[in-house]
Structure 1
């Protein structure tokens, strides 16, 4: 069927045209072109001058031009803004192409074809209605909204990015000339940076907007599903309540590594989403009632009763939500509201069955197809969401569960300690043998100090008093032993929530991914777990594309996760677990470092969950539900307008409901000896890198100090206890900031690193494998793409800033000047840090690996296999220029620090301490100390007799006023640092996501 394409590029064409025509960017554009020309020339010269570094040389040149007055910071700022706007526009175009944005009508047409295909075994054999109904009422795919810290742009700029991507506003209206002009000005004139001080409340607000957009898209999906069903099964279509896709969120409920969310915060957040959803149901009932006035009296009465019931429940929810938002710390107030909650007068709504039953009564009272369809869609929404905007995921760390159970069984050390393992499991099994549910109230919940037990108690109260219609997912981070899952099961039974709680271990570290199938196998041997899974009808796991990518490298993590998926499919077949759905939540993200394949949404989904995996579950007749996360602002972008949201949902459903096509002769799966050797080499490279102290030196050179705060989660992991934890180890930096540091240093080692080493083991075998394997080509496309956005000259240029020889050479060049004295002093200060040697050694490892990768890609090209990506020129050049400008700015910051006046040591703070902070780019903290140490006085102070009872002839006119230092040192450092961080956003947009 021919499809009319929605016009693309109109708004973006206007943006690119306007930014090029802006007079204020004329100088910046000329400087950019000059830098490009010089960079190309310098690169060509590296064959005869192999030790030259074009990135460092250009940065040095800019620095000297600044010093000589031939270049201004204002012009560099304009250049950064110009490049940021261009990166922003490029990103919008890439997102549009990536998802394949189409009109609402075109997406509905694709969905119609998809659903019709599900109704037929082959061209001529139509399925029974019940078989078709089972397909559409099963949630085959799940979206999980998370608040990972990827809010790298302001909310306003994210909205603009979505609108440029889809050529429509947030209400779905096509952008006219006036709207495009307003968007252009917003992007061109506004500073490209995140909203400052983003907190959990702001994250939750943006998450709710994304979920509302998904809900609207799903209404369109349900409408198409019903239209197809009415056409194919005209006598039965009203019996369908399509589900196909679920929406979940852990925003406000994720306590892994967080100590800033109380039980009252979690409950308040859960109650807020109930209020929103009940209000949504009322709005939809109002639409139905208004559209169908004049119906039978009995129908009007039924609809009015449904609305009245929901309205009554909404009043209760609003009152209790307000309490837990304001007064939850007051014991007396908690007692009062608890008594009110328990003394339910029938107004509370906890189960949705009565609403669905009432809607079914209304359906039987009308013959109008459009009214029936509206009621069925509402019924489907209630069945899908329950009494919330989305399903609820909570998350704890395994250590929190171990700490909770420790005293109950007398456990010392870790549960898998070899000498105590059997005793620990025996003691825990004894608890499970005898566990009986206990009763709790809000008082016992408030008094409980153990995080894990408090969470189970909170879940119990939510099921009793908020929503018992939809299950809750209980995710356990860093889980690598069955003991942890059995502990969770014990507490689920103890607090009476095991009927509605899906316990899901998160396998994210290398050890956990290797042992994951063994953990599940041991659990299936346990009678309590087996009975629990069969009763729930589902077995849930979570795999950590994010943290696994940090421990293993992204592609080796993906392959380890795929191996786990395949082992799990075979394991369940071996154990003959029947009637149990497997739910795999792959916590991948928006960047390559978090498993987002950059070529297309189709590649992204196939990369995360390979066709081979899906076909293996299907072959073993095991129902599989795949879930993926959309993380923070970068993830919510895909739901920023109605067209964009429906396109994204359509792509997800095409992936989930389409039959996976698998090449049985894919060499990656048939030549397992070579594939395994390749994987293990890759894995070893990244594990050795993570344990290498030189890698810690590289990451720690500036750490996260070049980044804005992009979310409420801390960059460093938080722990209940710190015993035995190496706080300086790279694993203690969260995955997103870890990835973001690599982005800002200019080399995506977590994605491109290690492949040269693996390829070099047998180049010919690799070229052959690449040609015979779709799986290998897909991950190598990502590697090649990441390599194209990387340049080892860039981190080597950053490392040079810590090389005393670099500063000595600069001082020698300018001889007897104040700048030379500052550079000499700086050479001594960086020489004492020992950072450079470690960074340089690590970069040598990456350089050697990169040389082998180049050879591998050249061999593919010679064999006609290499893909050429469209950013080889301007986008890559712009990215390098952003780094060049920032390298120049950092040099100026370092040299300004040399002009800070000496001061008497105080509170163990010395001038050298402050300068070292500045060299590490810990600028805000250093400036705070400097401003306190060197205050500005506003004129003289006169001490009068009227104030002090006796006269004084003294005034403080000899007191030192540090206004000059503030104006010439501190303020310039602050401005340069702000520009450095603005560059970080341009870099993220060039790459496609934050971290």
Structure 2
């Protein structure tokens, strides 16, 4: 093989691809992997050589990631956008009304997507923001703890606040010139920011209630410090600077009190008593400070007045925290809690009319109960504990900022009424927005009826008017996994339309609709990859927005920026301003009522059939043992650790063979699809759905803006996909390959290892599984390409071919590394069974890429250090044993260390591939 470089391997891969014309079953990706493997095992290549190649490709992948980020938000255009927000406006009242409500609520969530090491994150962000080259940044990974995630969220929030201030300042400055007599009337609120990092209890048991209190206090202290700094920059002698600094110091002391383990009643009592005690520096509301700043701004010159009013606007938006907070619980947790309040509740069907009747009575009779931190400490119910924590935060941290209560897997109105009962019971009904999450197939299918029933409840309507909004959450992660990303988006869109109908039908047009879309579409979290316009419209389409506008309902759209991937948009001041100004320019809270009707919604005979056919095809995959086995063939071993939340439930080795897709979460599911080379949950079914009516479906997708948007997503995903790669992973488990590899004496030195692998894998099912999956994908892909021919690519991206080649080379290198690991593990000398782990178990650990566990067992079996006689000070002499003894250094050097090195290189490849897809999962 030629000298190792990307260019030489890409050219070799191109030559191998040409051979598929002669032999359709020929697999160029696996052949390149085989070539590399032979050179590696012959000593013509080393792991160090491959490490150098991977470093080259890592750098290129980071460049692709940075370029894509820059293309999405165009940082150089941000100042120009700010100039246009006001100068084209004619009417002051319309201008003031437009900016008085958020164009978007931005939520920083801690989804486990902290893929990039801090050095690479910083380099990508700087390059994207300033148009530089990424270079070769430090690749040392961080330990991803909850505190690390929280710190990253706070950093993103800080940049977002600064960017919002710049937007607000520009609005005031322009308005002061344009409407000199009225500009001080403006009270712009272009964005709300929020976070659930440290408050999300769904699926977590590692976050204690006092952890959430500690985070909220630390956020308050940080924000007070930032307010003080901002005011001091305007007027260092302002009296309120000292007020804010004193409140910050007081809050910091309480945050420190709640930083330890508070399971001991004495420790909790001391911390709680200091927090709840009256104190001159205890600040619970910014209202008087905002009023003073606004009053002073009325008398100041324009420049100083703008600065004061910008600070007041930030205080109105954020309150006494870095942003608003979202708690999250599971519906089952609420059900368990409410059953104890209803007679014979253990046996009651909460979906029944009887349960609704009982809950109406409970709500009607509920009287607020006071609670304290002791109430929190002794409460055993997770759901009730969350309401108690919210009550204490509102009472002792921030009395003004509302709190969101997100309810996962919420599929019946009784669940929401249960949450309202606890909010009323603890006196926080007027500050808590209960938001049901629609994400499962069942929730999306029955969501319209759910909303009709919920909004028909008088108690809920009264509550919505009290809060001024109806809040719901729609999630794409599990929806996209179980019904496919395109059907999920269309189902969520219909659900949003049903919300507008239900609000209008129940006389709730006098309140806002807050619709939180938590993203997770599989080409990166949040992420339609074509443009930021598509990113905003994919989860909340112009059609859905028009439904609210036509019903005269004010829309409050909300979107998440998830984990390390989402935070990249706010990782520097330049990117944060570019992102927020891009959003403001797109104005996602508004709708164009004059826009022509999209044929996708007019030709429902076609579009509904298309939706159902894609959904059915996706569900066939989901229910197929072939798909499940292929996706879980390597467990989660292809993925880096990207978050503090556990990605899978524990299982033993035997259970791995029968692992259900429900045992891994949506993000790793999507990430595994990327790593295996084919985003099934985006692409699959689109071609088959058009099969019965190519011409009409193609015409619809060509003429419809929504249809073209769908095709842009599919094309972007397909451009990076490779069915040959999926098939190549199956060849690793092909017994015939290993038996034939040393044939005719080509690799005699590997004959014993290959024989062992061939014998071991005779009974393994994974080769057949991957072949069957590849065959199914190929048949569907043939139909998709027929559709592509009828729906021209409106925005060609020739650079994607280069990216595709990079992925192909990375995949081939990883397959060679995996072959290296397989050959090494079967060559390790036999060791005796220990700790109920046999040699066969260790082999299977490597084959499923549970490499760290396998290495731990091997190091236990072959120690390189052990006690020596000279370590002991014995009075009695002893001749045995003679000599110093020897450890297993050779076994470590020849087998164990190479497996570890190969696995670490494989994980670096995983990061590079994710960067080429634009995000992790």
Q: TM-score, normalised by structure 2?
A: 0.96
Write out aligned runs for 1:225-374 (5 A): 225-290=171-236, 303-304=238-239, 306-364=240-298, 366-374=299-307
Q: How does 1:804-815 map to 2 (within 5 A)?
A: 804-812=735-743, 814=745
SS of the residue corresponding to residue 762 of structure 1 reads helix
Cα distance in 2 for residues equivalent to 1:486 and 1:385 = 28
**Partner of 2:827: helix, strand, or coil?**
coil
Cα distance, 1:135 vs structure 2: 2.6
* Counterpart contact for 1:590–1:634, Cα < 8 Å: no
Give the Cα–Cα distance (whole angstroms) in 2 for the partners of residues 520 and 457 of structure 1.
27
2:102 aligns to what?
Answer: 139
Alignment of 1:208-223 (within 5 A): 208-223=154-169
User: Residues 251 and 933 (structure 1 numbering): CA distance in 2 closer, same or farther, change over 3 Å?
Assistant: same
CA–CA distance in 2 between the matches of 1:348 and 1:877?
60
1:489 Cα shift? 0.7
Closer, same or farther in 2 for the Cα pair 1:692/1:562, shift >3 Å?
A: same
Query: Alpha-carbon deviations, 1:448-481, whole Å to 9, x = none?
Result: 1211000000000000000011111111111111
| Match of residue 604 from structure 2 | 672
Distance in structure 1 (CA, Å) of the matches to 2:406 and 2:45: 54
Q: Point out the more displaced range, 498-507 or 753-762.
A: 753-762
Q: Which residue of the partner structure matches residue 875 of structure 1?
A: 803
Partner SS, residue 322 of structure 2: coil
Structure 1 residues 590 and 219, CA gap change in structure 2 (3 angstroms): farther
Q: CA deviation at 1:588?
A: 1.0
Distance in 2 of aligned mates of 1:27 and 1:634: 37
Tell me which residue corresponds to 1:153.
116
Tell me the SS of whatever aligns to 1:260: coil
Is residue 555–residue 590 contact of structure 2 (8 Å, CA) maintained in 1? Answer: no
SS at match of 1:102: helix
- Equivalent position SS for 2:903: helix
Distance 1:846 1:739, change over 3 A: same
Alpha-carbon distance in structure 1 between the residues aligned to 2:411 and 2:649: 19
| Residue 986 (structure 1) aligns with | 912
1:459-498 alignment runs, 5 A limit: 459-498=390-429
Q: What is the CA-CA distance between 1:587 and the residue it aligns to?
A: 0.3
Match of 1:375 among 299, 305, 308: 308
Whole-Å separation in 1 of the counterparts to 2:533 and 2:692: 31
Say which is worse superposed, 736-745 or 226-235, in terms of deviation. 226-235
Q: What do the CA deviations read for 1:479-533 (whole angstroms, capped 9, x no partner)?
A: 1111211111111111111100000011011111122221111111212111101
Distance 1:726 1:690, change over 3 A: farther
- Classify the secondary structure of the residue corresponding to 1:807: helix
* Equivalence for 2:877: 951
State the Cα deviation string for residues 877-902 of structure 1 (Å, max 9, x = none).
11100000000000010000011111
Long gaps (5+) in structure 2: none
Q: Structure 2 residue aligned with 1:393, among 315, 326, 334? A: 326
Q: Secondary structure at the match of 2:192?
A: strand
Q: CA contact under 8 A between 1:590 and 1:630: conserved in structure 2? A: no
1:403 to 336, 341, 347: 336
In the alignment, the residues of structure 2 paired with residue 412 and residue 900 of structure 1 have an alpha-carbon distance, to the nearest angstrom, of 56
Asked if the contact 1:546–1:595 (Cα under 8 Å) also holds between the matched residues in 2, the reply is no
CA distance in 1, matches of 2:478, 2:880: 64
**Distance (whole Å) between structure 2 residues aligned to residue 158 and residue 196 of structure 1:** 11
Q: How far apart in 2 are the matches of 1:838 and 1:91?
A: 33
CA distance in 1, matches of 2:273, 2:469: 36
Among 700, 706, 711, the alignment partner of 1:780 is: 711
Counterpart of 1:906? Answer: 834
Q: Secondary structure at the match of 2:393?
A: helix
Distance of aligned partners of 1:672 and 1:712 in 2 relative to their CA distance in 1, 3 Å threshold: same
**Where does residue 6 of structure 2 map in the other structure?**
32
How is 1:44-193 mapped onto 2 (pairs within 5 angstroms)? 44-102=18-76, 105-113=79-87, 116-117=88-89, 120=90, 126=91, 129=93, 131-167=94-130, 184=135, 186-187=136-137, 190-191=138-139
The size of the alignment, in residue pairs, is 915
Distance 1:595 1:761 in 2: 32
Change (3 A) 1:606 1:156: same
* Paired residues of 1:517 and 1:567 also in contact (CA < 8 A): yes
SS at match of 2:21: coil
User: Could you tell me whether the CA contact under 8 Å between 2:730 and 2:769 is conserved in 1?
Assistant: no
> Distance between the aligned counterparts of 1:582 and 1:204, measured in 2?
29
Work out the CA distance in 2 between the residues paired with 1:860 and 1:488. Answer: 48
Distance in 2 separating the partners of 1:681 and 1:593: 25
Query: Which digits, 9 at most, give the CA deviation of each residue in 1:40-78, with x for residues without a partner?
Result: 222222122011111111111111111222222221111
The whole-number CA distance in structure 1 between the counterparts of 2:867 and 2:745 is 39
Change (3 A) 1:943 1:751: closer
**Corresponding residue number in structure 2 for 1:42:** 16
3-state DSSP of counterpart to 1:592: coil
TM-score (ref. length: structure 1): 0.89
866-875 or 401-410: which moved more? 866-875
CA distance in 2, matches of 1:327, 1:309: 31
SS at match of 1:150: coil
Aligned residue for 1:711? 643
2:480 to 543, 546, 549: 549
Structure 2 partner of 1:751: 682
Aligned to 1:13: none
Q: Is the 8 A contact 1:611 1:662 kept in 2?
A: no
Q: Does 1:817 align with 2:780?
A: no
Matched residue of 1:625: which SS? strand
Query: Does the C-alpha gap of structure 1 residues 159 and 111 become closer, same or farther in structure 2, counting only changes over 3 Å?
Result: farther
Q: Distance in 2 between matches of 1:957 and 1:797?
A: 51
1:753 & 1:686 partners in 2: Cα distance? 7
Whole-angstrom distance in 2 between the partners of 1:937 and 1:604? 55
Pairing 1:969–2:895 present: yes
Question: Structure 2: how far apart are the matches of 1:948 and 1:465?
Answer: 64
Q: Which residue of the partner structure matches residue 643 of structure 1? A: 574
Relative to 1, partners in 2 of residues 1:595 and 1:688: Cα closer, same or farther, differing over 3 Å? farther
1:536–1:813 distance in 2 versus 1, CA, 3 Å: farther
Kept after mapping to 2: 8 A contact 1:112/1:228: yes
